[in-house]
Structure 1
Amino acid sequence: MLNQIRSKRLKIFVKLRTKNKVIKIKIAILANGVWDLEWGKQALKEVDFLICADGGANYAALSSRIPDLVIGDLDSILPENLSQCEKSGCLIERYPCEKDETDLELALLRAEERARMLGERDIWLYGATGKRIDHFLGNVALMLDYAQKGYRIR
């Protein structure tokens, strides 16, 4: 039921945009990097469509925010947070652990789809730095890839 509501909400946004009414839709990804809880609670209040890359859903739960989509191999999300997301009608896309893309890459692909559908060029990325230098550098490379596609990764 909630998925139908979210889907209808996105269709309404698209209809409004097609009638030359500009409405900014904030699409954000929450990754499993460093997360400042106090700041993050405020930041997530401004997000219209939240995608959590696997363990980013743990930070969403701490911030009292139900994501619209959780995506990845789901090896980092706590079972109780996954259960809460499922009960709340959050879309869940589970992938095998052995895959070619990182969880963040999968999240960016979905964010790009939503942004394209809504005519947005901004994608907000939270929690993409801080824990491991190899992940940090990979995430910076991803941001550059999307910048070359014309998106503003913030």
Structure 2
Amino acid sequence: MKRVNILLGGPESEYPTELSKSIKAIPGPWVGADRGSLHLMANGIIPDIAIGDFDSIDKKEQKLVQDNVPIFKKFPPEKDDTDSELCLLAARQKFNAQEYYVYGATGGRIDHFLVNLFLPFDPRFQDFYDKLYYKSARNTIRFFKPGRYSVFHENGMEYVAFVNLGPVTHLNILDAKYKLNDFSAGHPVSWASNEFVKDTVDFSFESGIVAVIQSRDKK
């Protein structure tokens, strides 16, 4: 399967406009986390999987989800994994997709966002973290394994940042507004507020994990 979508229970104010204006046009099946499942159902989409501890919805709402969603998995609040981790692992097991679009991963609580940002270091995600795509109203995040890549300028985004999440060797940003030549370090660095000068930016690195963030300011 090419694409699966995951809607987390983050603030709806952080959802991109496509979730309110054209959600049914988004290709692929859906997985809902907690209140995310209710949002999908309210917009005419029955997720294939609803998962989480469901502590953010009442019993009536929970029964509505349980009665309508084919796979309903409830976990106790006292658990080791966040709802986003549970959703991704369940989606991986059921769909084994080429792309995992995750909505609601970057807003709300900072501790939850950091869990999502550091997922590539969890051994359970090492074989597919480079297939994750976090998308919110003003930010997108992709993760990259060592290699050379071209990143396309996403519509409406103003800035591009390259963040080595841990140690990195021989990081090069080749044709952005601000170039970087053969950078290596043993600690994370956010190369923020770079800009496209054409439709793509090429970059490369030899070891480590790099997150590429495209963003725009709040109007």
**Pair in the same fold by TM > 0.5:** yes
Greater radius of gyration (CA):
2
For residues 11-33 of structure 1, the C-alpha deviation after alignment (integer angstroms, 9 at most, x for no partner) is xxxxxxxxxxxxx5421111011
| CA 1:54–1:131: 2 relative to 1, 3 Å | same
The question of whether the paired residues in 2 share the 8 Å contact of 1:33 and 1:128 is answered with yes
| CA 1:34–1:68: 2 relative to 1, 3 Å | same
Residue pairs, 1:86-105, within 5 angstroms: 86-105=66-85
Mark the runs of 5 or more structure 1 residues left unpaired by the alignment.
1-23
What is the aligned partner in structure 2 of residue 142 from structure 1?
119
For residues 76-131 of structure 1, the C-alpha deviation after alignment (integer angstroms, 9 at most, x for no partner) is 13434323223324321011111111111111111111233xxx321110111211
Mark the runs of 5 or more structure 2 residues left unpaired by the alignment.
134-219
2-side partners of 1:147 and 1:73: how far apart?
21
The question of whether the paired residues in 1 share the 8 Å contact of 2:53 and 2:76 is answered with yes
SS in 2 for 1:125: strand
Correspondence for 1:84 among 45, 60, 64: 64
TM-score, normalising length: structure 1: 0.69
SS in 1 for 2:32: strand
| CA 1:78–1:40: 2 relative to 1, 3 Å | farther
> If each structure's strand is expressed as a fraction of its own residues, which one has the higher value?
2
Identical pairs, percent: 32
Correspondence for 1:133 among 110, 134, 137: 110
The question of whether the paired residues in 1 share the 8 Å contact of 2:9 and 2:104 is answered with yes
Residue 45 (structure 2) pairs with residue 65 (structure 1) = yes
SS in 1 for 2:118: helix
- Which stretches of structure 1, 4 residues or more, deviate above 6 A after TM superposition? none
> If each structure's helix is expressed as a fraction of its own residues, which one has the higher value?
1
| CA 1:131–1:89: 2 relative to 1, 3 Å | closer
The question of whether the paired residues in 2 share the 8 Å contact of 1:67 and 1:85 is answered with no
What is the aligned partner in structure 2 of residue 114 from structure 1?
94
Aligned residues: 128
2-side partners of 1:59 and 1:144: how far apart?
30
